[in-house]
Amino acid sequence: MTVKLYWEDAHLTRFTARVTESWPQGAHRIIALDQSAFYPTGGGQPCDTGSINAARVIDVEMADDGRILHRLDSDDSFSVGEEVTCEVDWRRRREMLQQHTGQHILSQAFFRLFGAETKGFRITDRTTEIDLTLEAQPDEIERAIERAEELANGVVFDNREIRVHMVTTEEAAALPLRKESFITDCVRVIEIADYDWSPCGGTHAERTGEVGLIAVRGWERAKKMTRVHFLCGVRALDDYREASRSVDAIARKFSVGREEAESSVTRLLDENKRLSRRARELAGIVAKVEAHELIEAAEPVGGTRIILRIFEDRDVEELKLLAHRLVDGDNVVALLASKEGGTARLVFARSANLSADMNALMRTACERLGGRGGGKPDFAQGGGPKVSELDVALGEVGTTI
Ligand SMILES: [Zn+2]
């Protein structure tokens, strides 16, 4: 078994140790030491990184027999018995220690206030998650989270002492532990003064102030529990900066203070809805007028007016609107196209009193355009990538009516 130096001192980053095993694995090397301050992945917390001599430690795992195995990014050879100089990346350790200790504090807050137990815990790349036995309506959960966040941060601001106890299972049974321990011989208990007792093998702060701000990012229902996402310390600071930059950028666009950013966006969205509604109304009127002019200008052939038009950049909705207005009356066939976005788009329609098959015509035209299309006998739409064939395709279709 490797001696766990991180159990004795979570702030120890430089240490020396002796190599007890060393073997190559692909392009990497795995080495075991007699003692290690590198925390191995486990208990919801990712491992430490750092260096052993000149080699980078990229992964650390605990073997079933208690050996801590360090994966190095190179195949530098190490001999058994050799003394090595090790360094744990402190920035990463502190980041993990803050999230992990913050979890103890926040979990106890949910337990104290609502009797909600923490059934799952994991630190991910961006946030930390806890799965709570907390069931309520969404607005009640929001309020519960606010209260737990308030209590947890109060504990941080108190800067309470955090103590580590190694106790026997009998001694552990007498402690007000927050969760059951599965360790049978000896139990490591983390005490947050006058607040929380939890069995845990992780790395913790020395005082609650070291955790920094505990900020809940959001929550969701998962596995029939409430999953709360939160950030502590450096992560909370990074997130605050990002959120601050974002809201400032929005406020600047409206030339208002950040307090007014949200109401400015709401006003803009309302205005946008109103304008969209008005634009639709006006488009309807314009389509009617345009349809009237196109019909007037078209020469009837055998009593039928064929309106054939290729527009540069109208979207399909505009084409459809115009086509419908064109065929509102009798004896009109509308063959409309657009080159919007480098693609040929087609809408064919005919008056109800005519019998030409728009679906069949559309299929013929789309074939030439290298695309697909279809619809009903009186209305069809389609398109294709061969924009240069558009004139020919429409011309051909027009002559068959
Ligand atoms: Zn812990």
200 Cα: distance to centroid of ligand 1 (angstroms): 5
34 Cα–ligand 1 center, Å: 24
Note down pLDDT in tens along the chain; length 401 residues.
899 999 999 999 999 999 999 999 999 999 999 999 999 999 889 999 999 999 999 999 999 999 999 999 988 889 999 999 999 999 999 999 999 999 999 999 999 999 999 999 999 998 999 999 999 999 999 999 999 999 999 999 999 999 999 988 888 888 888 865 445 556 899 999 999 999 898 999 999 999 999 999 999 999 899 999 999 999 999 999 999 999 999 999 999 999 999 999 999 999 999 999 999 999 999 999 999 999 999 999 889 999 999 999 899 999 999 999 999 999 999 999 999 888 999 999 999 999 999 999 999 999 999 999 999 999 999 999 999 999 999 999 988 88
* Residue 133 and residue 116 in contact, taking contact as beta carbons nearer than 8 Å: yes
Q: How far is the CA of 178 from the centre of ligand 1 (A)?
A: 11
d(CA 29, CA 71): 6
Identify whether the C-beta of residue 201 lies closer than 8 Å to the C-beta of residue 148: no
DSSP characters over 129-192 = EEEE-----HHHHHHHHHHHHHHHHHHHHHT-BEEEEEEEHHHHHTS--SS----SSEEEEEEE
Angle between helices 358-368 and 390-399 (to 10 degrees): 150
CB 338 within 8 A of CB 313: yes
Task: Give the distance (Å) from ligand 1 centre to CA of residue 371.
Answer: 61
What is the distance in A from the centroid of ligand 1 to the CA of 18? Answer: 28
Q: How far is the CA of 243 from the centre of ligand 1 (A)?
A: 29
Residue 193 per-residue DSSP state: T
Q: In angstroms, what is the span from residue 21 Cα to ligand 1's centroid?
A: 29
Q: How far is the CA of 130 from the centre of ligand 1 (A)?
A: 13
Sign of the torsion angle spanned by Cα atoms 227, 233, 238, 240: positive
Ligand 1 centre from 55 Cα, in Å?
29
DSSP string, 32-79: EESEE-PPPSBTTBPPP-EEETTEEEEEEEE-TTS-EEEEESS-----
- In the block, residue with structure tokens 């990229």: 58
- List strands edge to edge, sheet with 379-384: 305-311, 332-338, 344-350, 379-384, 372-375
Closest to 203 measured CA to CA, from 367, 35, 365, 44: 44
Distance 167 CA to ligand 1 centre (A): 15
Nearest to 320 by CA among 383, 276, 391: 383
The answer to whether residues 69 and 111 touch, using CB atoms and an 8 Å cutoff, is: no
Helix 90-114 with 138-158: angle, nearest 10 deg = 120
Surface-to-core class of residue 6, CB atoms within 10 Å of its CB (0-12 exposed, 13-18 middle, 19+ buried): buried
Which residues hold their Cβ within 5 A of ligand 1, which is an ion?
A: 200, 202
